[in-house]
């Protein structure tokens, strides 16, 4: 058998009329064929790009179990087992230490990483902000911000690496909706710091996998820690300004930050300044970064699928955007939403969900030992050969009609699972539909990279080359009543 090269980048291709993007080729070696000395090369691969570290068996079997430096891992890809571990018997699982070390280096005890009573308190305080009724009130601001800002980022000569403009656009939408536009200050520096933090802090360090003490410096993270410090300083200044305005009797905008500051009554403890920093940082990172990455991948996939692009553009062009409230656009754009959902299947924005078993757990003859890292990898789950037809192909129709109804509840999990499902999933879907509709109405994206846009995991799945595109403004004559 030829030596497997995890760095090999195959060419994308079309099969049976469906586009298949270039992604890491799984190692054909079976799990029980790995030996102790393979752990060192595996650790290097995981530190470089975890997506390159998987084997074929993990895309075919319901569970893959192995040890890495003495730690047992159970990678589960069976929907029934996922339901059992993350819902029915969730009390037997806590966050894994490796997962927490990666996230807490960036967001501290933000909502994504908080546990126990700290998480319960935060989730209860934030949930009213993300009810369906409240999310709908953000739609007009999402539309207005996108219309105002997209020409600034996209109407430039030559080739544009759209990953950064998409991040800037979603950042400004987040700022206007959840922070009343007040985190737009030093926008470029904030975006640079978020990117640096995720790139250099948002990955496992080899010392994490070796369970080295916390006090030992993680050299791979040093560059990112200054970016995290900058972000915290910006949030601290904004928080202190709001508190001063509150003390002076001024009215505060009714937004996410104000609600965090005003938490506290007879039944609910107030948030500390550090809590507010953590939660705002988590929403700045997760709230715009995940949507931005999905948009970049979406327009790449569409640029290689003429039929899907034509369908999406026709659907968007038929929508009377002036007369139709933006919060209802999703009802009129089913294929647009299907394209976005299929993109999140192929490139799930944040694919790793990890827990640690407290006690031994058995389900359907499968045993998960105590202290085992339980690993739900939606990159594998969404491409699993037993769950999907043509799992590597871009097929938006699988998210329409009866085909969509046939997808199992625990088969497609772009927003997480169980009680820890993403609090902002309605916000993200509404934002995505509005942004896609406006972008596709006015622009066409043509991939212009010399090589493939290689997916690289840094908490989110990023295109390594920044996704170079030729962005062409669509002729108004072709837009019908859109004008």
Q: How many residues does the chain have?
A: 483
Q: What would the mean pLDDT of 117-135 be, rounded to a whole number?
A: 89
Distance (Å, whole) CA 74 – CA 375: 6
CATH number at residue 287: 1.10.630.10
- Per-residue pLDDT at 217: 63
- Burial of 97-109, coded b for 16+ CB within 10 Å and e otherwise, reads ebbbbbbbbbbbb
CB-based burial, 187-224: b 16+ in 10 Å, e otherwise: eeebbebbbbbbbbbbbbbbbbbeeeeeeeebebbeeb
Structural domain includes residue 2: no
Per-residue pLDDT at 479: 45
**pLDDT on residue 477:** 36
Report the pLDDT averaged over residues 198-216. 61
Q: With contact defined as beta carbons under 8 Å apart, do 258 and 265 qualify?
A: no
Domain annotation covers residue 6: no
Residue 167 maps to a domain: yes
What integer pLDDT is reported at residue 252 of this predicted model? 86
The answer to whether position 313 is within a domain reads yes
42 closest CA partner among 50, 1, 32:
50
- Above 60 in pLDDT, residue 85? yes
Structure tokens at 55: 């084997």
Question: Which residues make beta-bridge pairs with 75?
Answer: 64, 375
Q: What is the pLDDT of residue 20?
A: 98
Q: Which two tokens stand for residue 71?
A: 């730690």
- On whether residue 4 sits in a domain, the answer given is no
The token pair that represents 386 in the structure block: 């037993």
Any domain includes 66 = yes
- Mean pLDDT for the chain? 87
Strands 352-357 and 159-161: unpaired
Q: What is the pLDDT of residues 280-312, one digit of tens each?
A: 888 877 777 889 999 999 999 999 999 999 999
Q: Is the dihedral of CA 462, 465, 466, 471 positive or negative?
A: negative
Regarding pTM above 0.75, the answer is: yes
pLDDT of residue 155: 87
In a domain, 8, yes or no: no
Pairing of strands 373-377, 71-76: parallel
Pairing of strands 71-76, 63-68: antiparallel
Pick the residue with more confidence: 111 or 197?
Answer: 111
Residue 368 domain-assigned (yes or no): yes
Predicted local confidence at residue 224, as pLDDT: 73
pLDDT tens per residue across span 362-375: 998 999 999 999 99
Question: Number of structural domains, the chain?
Answer: 1
Q: Which residue in 102, 46, 51 sits closest to 69, CA to CA? A: 46
Domain extent, residue 290, equals: 13-482
pLDDT band at 216 (very low <50, low <70, confident <90, very high): low
Q: Which helix (H) or strand (E) holds 188?
A: helix 187-200
Burial tier of 376 (Cβ tally within 10 Å: 0-12, 13-18, 19+)? buried
Confidence grade of residue 2 (pLDDT, cut at 50, 70, 90): very low
**Residue range 375-418, pLDDT digits in tens:** 999 999 999 999 999 999 999 999 999 999 999 999 999 999 99
Q: What is the pLDDT of residue 95?
A: 85
Residue 22 CA from chain centroid, whole number: 19
């Amino acid at each position: 058998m030829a030596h497997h090269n995890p760095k090999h980048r195959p060419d994308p291709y079309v099969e049976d009329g469906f586009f298949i993007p270039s992604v890491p080729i799984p190692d054909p070696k079976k799990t029980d064929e790995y030996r102790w000395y393979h752990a060192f090369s595996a650790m290097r691969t995981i530190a470089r790009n975890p997506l390159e570290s998987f084997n074929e068996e993990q895309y075919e079997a319901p569970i893959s179990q192995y040890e890495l430096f003495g730690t047992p891992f159970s990678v589960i890809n069976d929907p029934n087992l996922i339901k059992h571990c993350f819902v029915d018997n969730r009390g037997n699982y806590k966050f894994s230490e490796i997962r927490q070390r990666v996230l807490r280096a960036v967001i501290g005890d933000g909502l994504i990483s908080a546990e126990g009573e700290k998480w319960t308190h935060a989730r209860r305080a934030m949930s009213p902000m993300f009810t369906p009724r409240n999310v709908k009130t953000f739609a007009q601001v999402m539309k207005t911000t996108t219309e105002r800002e997209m020409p600034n980022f996209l109407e430039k000569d030559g080739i544009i690496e759209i990953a950064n403009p998409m991040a800037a656009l979603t950042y400004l939408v987040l700022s206007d909706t959840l922070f009343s536009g007040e985190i737009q200050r030093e926008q470029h520096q904030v975006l640079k710091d978020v990117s640096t933090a995720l790139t250099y802090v948002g990955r496992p360090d080899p010392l994490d996998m070796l369970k080295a003490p916390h006090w030992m410096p993680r050299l791979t993270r040093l560059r990112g820690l200054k970016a995290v410090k900058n972000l915290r300083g910006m949030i601290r200044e904004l928080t202190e300004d709001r508190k001063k305005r509150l003390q002076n009797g001024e009215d505060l905008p009714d937004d996410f930050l104000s609600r965090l500051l005003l938490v506290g009554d007879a039944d609910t403890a107030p948030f500390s300044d550090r809590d507010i920093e953590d939660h705002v940082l988590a929403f700045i990172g997760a709230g715009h970064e995940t949507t931005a990455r999905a948009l970049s991948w979406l327009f790449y996939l569409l640029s290689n699928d003429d039929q899907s692009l034509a369908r999406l553009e026709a659907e968007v062009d038929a929508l009377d955007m002036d007369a139709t409230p933006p919060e209802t656009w999703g009802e009129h754009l089913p294929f647009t939403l299907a394209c976005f959902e299929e993109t999140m299947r192929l490139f799930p924005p944040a694919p790793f969900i990890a827990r640690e078993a407290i006690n031994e757990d058995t389900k359907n003859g499968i045993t998960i030992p105590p202290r085992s890292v339980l690993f739900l990898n939606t990159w594998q789950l969404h491409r699993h050969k037993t769950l999907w037809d043509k799992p590597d192909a871009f097929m938006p129709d699988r998210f329409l009609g009866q085909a969509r109804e046939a997808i199992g509840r625990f088969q497609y999990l772009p927003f997480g699972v169980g009680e820890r499902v993403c609090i902002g999933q309605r916000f993200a879907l509404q934002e995505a539909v509005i942004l896609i509709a406006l972008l596709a109405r006015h622009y066409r994206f043509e991939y212009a990279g010399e090589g493939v846009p290689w997916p690289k995991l840094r908490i989110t799945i990023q295109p390594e080359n920044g996704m170079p595109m030729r962005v062409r403004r669509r002729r108004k004559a072709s837009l019908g009543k859109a004008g």
